[in-house]
Amino acid sequence: MGADDSVSGGTIDIDVNSVFSDDEKLTEHLKSGDFFKTDEFPAAKFTVTGVEKSGEGYQVSGNLLLRGVEKNISFPATGTKDGDTITVKAEFDINRKDWGIVYAGKADDLIRDEVIIRFDLTAKPEA
């Protein structure tokens, strides 16, 4: 953190095997090669490259590594600081096809290209 309490960087490691749905069969399908391919890519990573004040919140930029593909993304977030603890909340979408997730499904499947990512992160800076 800088002198003005701003966040200038950081890395978030994501356990892709933690993906779940309300249907066990669907959860297993999401972990398969049709989607996240967790046997080959069990982890994803988001590396913050910039945070800028934007209205009531922030615009966060960084590189998302998912399924072996790294893409730069930017999204709105809100954040608070309590002592050394920072809490960040965001909800945004990405196009799954940008990361090689191109499963077409069947004609009546409700598979969208845009996938919503939602997180509530609490973190402390490394000593």
Tokens representing 70? Answer: 């790294």
What is the rounded distance in angstroms from the CA atom of residue 27 to the CA atom of residue 69?
A: 22
Residue 2 lies in a domain: no
Determine, yes or no, domain membership for 71: yes
Per-residue pLDDT, 3: 38
Determine, yes or no, domain membership for 50.
yes
Cα three-residue angle 113-117-76, rounded to 5 degrees = 110
What is the 8-class DSSP label of residue 108? Answer: T
Domain count, the chain: 1
27: part of which helix (H) or strand (E)?
A: helix 24-31
Greater pLDDT, 29 or 5: 29
Give the angle 18-21-27 at the CA atoms, nearest 5°: 70
Rounded mean pLDDT of 27-41? 94
User: Is pLDDT larger for residue 8 or for residue 67?
Assistant: 67
Rounded to whole angstroms, the maximal C-alpha distance in the chain is 54
Considering the entire predicted model, what is its pTM?
0.83
% residues pLDDT > 90 (the chain) = 60
116 or 65: whose pLDDT is higher? 65
Per the model's pLDDT, the better-predicted residue between 74 and 121 turns out to be 74
Is residue 29 in a domain? yes
Domain that holds residue 112: 10-123
The answer to the question of residue 68 being in a domain is: yes
At residue 1, the pLDDT reads 35
Is position 4 within any domain? no
Q: Which one is predicted more confidently, 125 or 8? A: 125
Residue 116 is assigned to a structural domain of this protein: yes
1 located within any domain: no
CATH number of the domain that 53 lies in? 2.40.128.110
Least trusted range by pLDDT, from 16-30, 36-50, 62-76: 16-30
Q: Is 2 strand, coil or helix?
A: coil
Residue with tokens 């077409």: 104
